[in-house]
Every structure is written in structure tokens, then in C-alpha cells.
Amino acid sequence: MRTNIHETQASLRAQYKANPALAMVTDRASTRSTDPTDPFHSLVIPSAGDHPALAVGVHSAVGGPYDAPCPGDLLCAALAACQDSSIRLVAAGLGIELTALEVHVQGTVDVRGALGIQKDVPVGFQSITCDIHLQVKDGTPPDMLEKLRVAAERCCVVMRTLQAPPPVQTTYHM
């Protein structure tokens, strides 16, 4: 089923222009564990709705069994999913017919920082690479592909957040 992205977004654009406060969206996720004494496993529930819980594990590089995606995998997945959806939305808006799309994201981390082995090694990914493989309908003008690339990068929320991170506030309730 083809969706006309202009029709789908027209009323939203009009609402957000008239009342910018309506454009503020809050995404959510929470965790829970069936066994709080298990240091290697928990569940993460994306969004506030009735979405299924995802099993989360600990990477073997920091002592876990790595029998479920680790938080770093989920970060890479969030970036891949955001880039994929951004490309699809922009392509639809530009009238570009995609025939194939795959997004591969890889993050590299030196876990000595997380393990506190070497204080000068930062905790976190040292690099993230994204490889986007897309194919479009034959005859698509090259300038349209460049417009697609630029616009998709401009509107990818997760990529932009990683490139210019907001402050993160953490509150412990004990």
C-alpha cells in the first residue's frame, strides 16, 4: 500500500506551525527485571504503549554471557532504524522509488574505560560507522539522490542526537 507522505504530514505540519508546542514529543523506555540479583539480564520496554519487552544482556567483553543484545547493540539498532525510516520518509516525499534499502551500523568501544582499567580511556563508543546500501528505480536523477542523502541526514533524530548530545539528567530514587 502506497502512502502519500505529503497528504499524511500536511495536517501535522499545519498544526505544528500554528502551535509549536504540539511538536514536542517525548519518547520513553523503561527496564524491569525478573531477578534484580542477576547482573547479566533485564528487559527493556520501548515506548509507553503495549510494545513487547526486549531481552537485554551484558556483552562478553565486560564479563557477561552476551546471550541477548547488549545496550550498545540497541544504540546501534536505534541509529540504524532512525536512518532507515528517515531515508524512507524523505524518499517518499521526494517521489523517489526505493527498490532496496539496508542500513548497517557498527560501534566500536574500548571497554577498558567501562571496566575502570585505564582512566584515560573514555567510557563510550570511540567510533560509529554507518553503511547505507540503497537502490532506486532506474532513471532516478543523481541530483535527487543527493537531495535524499542531505535531507535524510538532516532529519535523522538519533544521528543528530549522537552528533550533538543533549545534557542527560539522572535522578536516583532510593
129 sits in the region (left: phi over 0; alpha: psi -120 to 50; else beta) called beta
pTM: 0.92
Which domains are present in the chain? 1-69 (no CATH), 70-165 (3.30.300.20)
The confidence score (pLDDT) of residue 2 equals 62
pLDDT score of 7: 86
Helical packing angle, 71-94 and 5-18, nearest 10° = 100
Residue 48 CB-half CA count within 13 A: 4
Residue 107: which of 65, 154, 75 has the closest Cα?
75
| Average pLDDT estimate for 29-46 | 92
- The reported pLDDT for the residue numbered 51 is 84
pLDDT at 34: 80
What per-residue confidence (pLDDT) applies to 158?
98
* pLDDT confidence of residue 69: 97
Question: Does pLDDT of 98 surpass 80?
Answer: yes
Say if residue 93's pLDDT is above 70.
yes
**Mean pLDDT on 112-140:** 96
101 phi/psi in degrees, rounded to 5: -155, 125
- Given pLDDT bands bounded at 50, 70 and 90, which one contains residue 33? confident
Amino acid 6: pLDDT: 83
pLDDT at residue 1 above 70? no
- pLDDT tens for 39-81 read 999 999 998 667 899 999 999 999 999 999 999 999 999 999 9
Mean pLDDT of the chain: 94
